[in-house]
Amino acid sequence: MRYIFSALCVFITLVVTVGRASAAVIAYTDEAEYLTAIAALGVPVVHEGFEDEAAWGSVRGSTAPGITNLGITWTANNANSGVTTGIGAALTGNYGFYTLPHGDFANGIGDGFVGTSNRVLYGVGGWIRTNTPPAGISLVLEADSNPVNVDFGEDCDPSGENCIDRAILGTAHKFFGVVSPDGFTRFDFLETEFTLPDELKLIFVDDFTIAGDLTVPVLGDMDCDGDLDFDDIDDFVLGINNPQEYENQFGVPPEAKGDADGDGDLDFDDIDDFVAILNNPLSVRTQYVPEPGTAVLLGVAMSILAWRRWRQRA
């Protein structure tokens, strides 16, 4: 009986171990293959081309510590750099993305950027180039908690010799992507070929396709966290009363998220339409599934209307 019990324990241990095993993370350097893989997952997909003026207009010719758009917050990989956009970084359209200054070489940190989300992501892929070839690219998932280093592999001749690292960059844009069925909330793209003091490598990116629970609103999500709730009311009021403070906090002008009547500014005239968006989020031009229920949104509407009446009396 003791032997049967021991065997049963071993079997249970194996089952638990297998059940907890993580699904494979798969790297891609072919965009078509990547798109096929994320389509098979059946999760929402967003495209970030860095063209949206409402989100990215504040960093045309300047920088910001970070920009949040489509549920992703884009930052540099070091505290001394900001994010920006430029024509030279573009693959398509007018703008691509990069960090400025490029890296923090004085402290041994190469060029790179970070994307984070409060939603689960299952795939990220985009086009990257350098103007200081050859450069190298590294992708790390969940670098701040449980890092997963993505291996893009190499191409070899039929004999298995003369191999070329797929992660080496040239001056033409090259696609890099990864799919993780287990999901992740952070991705780090880092340049790996720089050597101090004079071989400083720079990277530029464009046209990212990201798979995950990123069905976020264009309008109404005043705190840029991907949902509609009471927190958006406070930031709607902040946007009206102190638009510069709002822009400093969120990296976009308040009208980018709260101009509900579409007249190009954020003011008291937007309140009625803002309430309508909260109660009928599918009326905005990007559809998404809001987190709060109808009762919560009705409470939001009543709160804003009461606030407006108080302001009018004042």
- How distant, in Å, are the alpha carbons of 134, 156, 262, 297 from that of 29? 17, 15, 40, 44
CA dist 16 and 250 (Å) reads 44
CB 187 within 8 A of CB 223: no
CB 228 within 8 A of CB 221: yes
Q: Which of 135, 252, 153, 146 is nearest to 189 (CA)?
A: 135
Reduced DSSP (H G I as helix, E B as strand, rest coil) percent helix, strand, coil of the chain, to 5: 30, 30, 40
Domains plus CATH for the chain?
A: 23-212 (2.60.120.260), 231-313 (no CATH)
| One pLDDT digit (tens) per residue for the chain, 314 residues | 444 434 434 333 333 333 334 678 999 999 999 999 999 998 889 999 999 998 999 999 999 999 999 889 999 999 999 999 999 999 999 999 999 999 999 999 999 999 999 889 999 999 999 999 999 999 999 998 899 999 999 989 888 888 889 999 999 999 999 999 999 999 999 999 999 998 999 999 999 999 998 755 567 788 776 666 677 888 888 888 888 888 777 766 888 788 877 787 888 888 877 777 776 654 443 333 334 444 445 555 555 556 656 666 65
Beta strands 45-48 and 204-212 are antiparallel
Q: Give the number of other Cβ atoms within 10 Å of residue 174's Cβ.
A: 17
Tokens of 6: 């021991």
